[in-house]
Amino acid sequence: MSLVVNSTINGDPIEFSCEPDETLMDALRNRVGLKGVKEGCGTGDCGACSIRLDGALVCSCLVLGAEAEGRSVETVEGMSDGPKLHVLQSKFLEHAALQCGVCTPGFLIAAQALLEKNPTPTEEEIRYGLAGNLCRCTGYDKIVRAVQDAAKVMNKSSKRKKTSGGKK
Amino acid sequence: MNAENKMPKQVFRSVGTRPVRPDGVDKVTGRARYGADYDMPGQLVGRILRSPHAHATIKKIDISKAEQLPGVKAVVTSKDLPDLTDGNEDLQAILENCMARKKAYYDGHAVAAVAAVDAKTAKAALKLIEVEYKVHKHVTDVDKAADPKAPVLRKDCITEGVSPAPTKASNIALQSEFGHGNVTKGFKQADHIVTRNFRTEQTHQGYIEPHACVASISPDGTGEMWVCTQGHFVFRQQCAQLLGLDMAKLRVTSSEIGGGFGGKTHLWVEPVAMALSRKANLPVKLVMTRDEVFRASGPTSATSIDIKIGITKDGTITAGEATLRYASGPWKGSWAALGAMTAFACYDLENVKTTGLEVLVNRPKTTAYRAPSAPMAAFAVESVIDELAAKIDMDPVQIRIKNAASEGTKSSYGPVYGPIGIGPTLEAAANHPHMSAKLKKNQGRGMACGFWFNFGGQSSTHINIDIDGSVTLTVGTIDVGGARASLSLVVAEEFGIDYEQVKTVIGDTSSLGYNEMTDGSRGTFASSMSAIASVRKAIDEMIKRAAMMWDIPADQIEWREGHAHATGKSNANLAPL
Amino acid sequence: MPVLYESPQTTPEAVALLSKSKGKVHVLAGGSDLLVRMKGGYIEPDVIVDIKRIKSMNVIKKTADGFLIGAAVSCARLGEHAALKKAWPGIVEAANLIGSDQIQGRCTIAGNLCNASPAADSVPAMIAAGASAIIQGPRGERQVAVEKIAKSPGVTTLKKGEVVEAILLPPKQKKSSDAYLRFTPRTEMDIAVVSAAVSLTLGAKGVIEDARVSLGAVAPKALLVKPAAKAIIGSTLDDEALEKLAAACAAACDPIDDKRGTIHFRTKVAQVLAKRAAKIAWQRAGGK
């Protein structure tokens, strides 16, 4: 029997129904229509279905849809600010950090979580931080460079915000 | 002289620049639609029942209980996919692989499939299908399968390519031989001979996106399919043939592709989705799980390769011989011949002989994987070349330069080479600073050569110029790695317009003439040639029209920077069109 | 039978569900093992009891008996807990080696324990630390040493209706510390081929007063190797003591032989890792 789940998805209150043993990945894709959440393995190995659940980076294939009740979910569809791309999205484009693109949504979400936790990661920290995401095409180097560059830009703009905030 | 020096030194305006890829924004925003991301109204969920045995005769399949489960709309077995292949062996192998007929040949081989209103019902229905198997001994190792004492997969498998034909069935399906000269004589001239056996394991292409499709077949014999593939025209042809549809009535649209690496050149589940849809008279979506991808879609062959190479003290190869056994899965088609062709193709040899063997094993059907069959052959040959170089204390790069094929060399697989870059490439590598850089701790340096063919094949493209001057290029080769960017650059270059004014799209099978797959490194190469031809035709046509408008002869008009320009003093008053 | 998803708010409710529900009842903590098995069709639960809404299972608490780590606390949260990290660096480093950041956002050490894999990363660290599992069941509470939870691969000694509520780490002694090391072919996202954990307490002049040594992936379950601890107690971790430690570890190994590691390889690496882990724990405890 289906359950009704109420959660906040990309900032909006969303109600969806799902089976008790249905994964959040399937529910997001097939019930809510957020197909940017990709299934690569369904077993937590590839990271293509990465989302934020109450801020925590998780594989949505290892979460039940029912668990999202009352919780907040963030997916790649919620990353940009209207038509304005998130810095990570722009940097992935600029550095050609994607090829087939099926792993890209997961990488972006994981990179976002990484930079929130550690705004100035070293290359090694980026590689460890993104170890839960598999990419078959790029060889990872361009992804690492895109994240490094995004971190730089994000730190500059947050400094600017702080200074301008101080003047007020 | 280097091959590339013969090329004209053309100055490009667009080609060679690095714009942002046109498919990029959709991919970073989650908007790009892959195989599993598309739904048709009223679609059912398809699921496949797979054999738990590596080798078994299917004695009986009872689908009645599954059919009676509420919510189940269709259950199919091989009976729903009758053999319409008309003796075409390749198609027959696809058919048998998509749905086991008398025998299941590997763990994971499909034996039945269901379409139901939801995933839960489809899963429950699979459990209600009763299959009675008679389990046989199986063989998965290539050397063991080639042994005359091995369990034989097919009683009718008489080795092809051997004369006279063997009288007994075996697992060696096909033998192909290449070479020239006399290797026995060649080995007698050698100062050193190295003989080795190399084994490589089966490897999966490992694309992140599992195979997925949505198929819809109507009672009037028309159909549609959305699918992730490296070649939707080929998929259309083969599916239409297997299902007995008119090719023209089946329209296949390719999705964005989440990696292929050769593995998406082949049909695995698509005819099953179509058979389910036909039986249910509703669209059916079939998505493989990762487990299914690994169990039942194309890996590359496991191999066992014998290499023998003879060399003189000064480093000249006097003879090369190879026997290459490629595990083919339960059907031939592993292209052992390509391994036999490429093994020694980098070298100029007087005496060479290669034998490729396709060996049937109880493993999934193999398919293309990045220059199919060639890397394993190169690995074996190059390892022995290294060993020989060490034996005569010669630099491993120099020994390769000494024996490299050049223009006029009779290749190990037959043809005489035109310009070929292996020698100059090796010399450039030898002179590169990396070759003399000092090695740090735990660092090493290696050198190996490999050979691959390049071919064109059939391509068809379409150019549409809009009233604002922007251009759509429609191509029929799948973009697996960035071809849309490359092709847009090519079109911009030819027209003399900006990259941003060009949009390249992949057309469906009803919008263009036939296109071969994106495989064998042909996609951008072949589509570019067709695109250039299309652009030039369009420019000719526009010049003709300008001539009519200006009422001047066409030869007084030239095309520059996206415009028709009238030439000559008398036409100076005509503004470019 | 339709599957039921239950998310009790209290431990007694969870125990009632676990003991009274019909069919196959499974506890859902992080889900990083349960959902994988469900996806593969290896298990098909009739009832899933999600313990993450139970407040007491969702906290890390410092008590007089030591740190109490709720069964639903994710491994990522262990890494964010400064006091815990300082007291039990070995436990935290083991927990933060499990899977990826994504997995650590979900997985729990109680789940790692109850999954009963011989290669579980956090289990040897917990064994070395002398941790115990607080178990709630229809007959009330019991406290069991963690090394007694796993019986064999995938099988635990928990009885019907029982659930691990929390993991209790003993009070931290002065001049004590712990360490965990594992061998994997990949640096991340891999499962231990061999692992070792050492916890020790130093006395006067840096002499080891107390120690516990545990090995993972060298037997059907993670081992507490008492002779290995004995080999270093009373020493200052000199070479002779380390060799004795290694010998005791080798004697305890009874590994499988597969393509990830031969018996010889696993036995050899167990000795190396145990020695290295002991040295790290010793340094962390203030040994010089």
pLDDT digits (tens, 9 = 90+) for C202-235: 998 889 999 999 999 999 999 999 999 999 999 9
CATH number for the region A87-160 comes to 1.10.150.120
Q: Is the dihedral of CA B454, B456, B457, B463 positive or negative?
A: positive
Question: B233, B252 in Cβ contact below 8 A?
Answer: yes
Structure tokens at C1: 């039978």
Separation in Å, CA of A94 to nearest CA in chain C: 26
Where among B296, B330, B349 does a domain terminate? Answer: B296
Q: Helix %, strand %, coil % for chain A, to 5? A: 45, 15, 40
A107 neighbourhood in chain C, CB within 8 Å:
none
Q: What is the mean pLDDT of each run of 10 residues along chain B (577 residues)?
A: 52 91 96 97 98 98 98 98 95 97 97 97 97 98 97 95 94 97 97 97 96 98 97 97 97 97 95 98 98 95 97 97 97 91 97 97 94 95 97 96 96 94 94 93 92 86 94 95 94 94 96 91 89 95 93 92 84 71
Specify burial of residue A109 (Cβ count, 10 A radius: 0-12, 13-18, 19+): buried
CA-wise closest residue to A110 among A92, A136, A96: A92
- How many domains would you assign to chain B? 3
Both B318 and B368 in a single domain?
yes
Question: B45, B83 in Cβ contact below 8 A?
Answer: no
> Residue B461: left if φ>0, alpha if ψ -120 to 50, beta else—which one?
beta
Does residue B473 fall inside a structural domain?
Answer: yes
Separation in Å, CA of A63 to nearest CA in chain C: 7
Both B217 and B292 in a single domain?
yes
Specify burial of residue C29 (Cβ count, 10 A radius: 0-12, 13-18, 19+): buried
Assign 3-class secondary structure to B271-304. Answer: HHHHHHHHHHCCCEEEECCHHHHHHHCCEECCEE
From the options 1.20.120.140, 3.30.390.50, 3.40.50.1980, 3.40.50.1580, give the CATH code of C176-284.
Answer: 3.30.390.50
Both B165 and B215 in a single domain?
no
Separation in Å, CA of C92 to nearest CA in chain A: 17
Chains that touch A (3 or more CB pairs under 8 A): B, C
Interface of A with C in 54-83 (CB under 8 A): 56-59, 61-64, 66-67, 69
Both B385 and B487 in a single domain?
no
Across the interface, do B27 and A41 touch by the CB < 8 Å criterion?
A: no
Question: C46, C53 in Cβ contact below 8 A?
Answer: no
Structure tokens at B456: 């064109």
Across the interface, do B37 and A35 touch by the CB < 8 Å criterion?
A: yes
Question: A122, A152 in Cβ contact below 8 A?
Answer: no
pLDDT (average), residues C39-62: 96
Separation in Å, CA of A126 to nearest CA in chain C: 11
Q: Report pLDDT for A78.
A: 97
Q: Report pLDDT for B572.
A: 66
Mean model confidence pLDDT for chain C:
96
Chains that touch B (3 or more CB pairs under 8 A): A
Question: B322, B377 in Cβ contact below 8 A?
Answer: yes
Across the interface, do C32 and A44 touch by the CB < 8 Å criterion?
A: yes
Across the interface, do A42 and B290 touch by the CB < 8 Å criterion?
A: yes
pLDDT digits (tens, 9 = 90+) for C22-33: 999 999 999 999
Across the interface, do C105 and A53 touch by the CB < 8 Å criterion?
A: yes
Across the interface, do A57 and C36 touch by the CB < 8 Å criterion?
A: no
pLDDT per residue as tens, chain A (168 positions): 799 999 999 999 999 999 999 999 999 999 999 999 999 999 999 999 999 999 999 999 999 999 999 999 999 999 999 999 999 999 999 999 999 999 999 999 999 999 999 999 999 999 999 999 999 999 899 999 999 999 999 998 887 776 654 443
Both B314 and B291 in a single domain?
no
* C2–A contact, CB cutoff 8 A: yes
**Contact pairs from chain A to chain C, CB under 8 Å:** 91
Across the interface, do A98 and B37 touch by the CB < 8 Å criterion?
A: no
Q: Does the pLDDT of residue C55 top 70, yes or no?
A: yes
Q: Report the CATH fold assignment for A3-78.
A: Ubiquitin-like (UB roll) (3.10.20)
- Residue C284 — pLDDT band, cuts 50, 70, 90? very high
Across the interface, do B28 and A89 touch by the CB < 8 Å criterion?
A: yes
pLDDT (average), residues C116-129: 97
In Å, what is the CA distance from B281 to each residue of A82, B47, B66, B452, C141? 41, 16, 18, 45, 58
- State the amino acid at position A72 in one-letter form: S
* C3–A contact, CB cutoff 8 A: yes
Q: Report pLDDT for B573.
A: 67
Across the interface, do A59 and C106 touch by the CB < 8 Å criterion?
A: yes
Q: Report pLDDT for C259.
A: 87
Q: In chain C, whose CA is at the least distance from the CA of A128?
A: C188
Q: What is the CATH number of the domain that holds B150?
A: 3.30.365.10
Chains that touch C (3 or more CB pairs under 8 A): A
Nearest to A57 among C5, C40, C102 (CB): C102
Q: Report pLDDT for B207.
A: 96
Across the interface, do C102 and A110 touch by the CB < 8 Å criterion?
A: yes
Separation in Å, CA of A38 to nearest CA in chain B: 8
B235: containing domain: 35-137+206-296
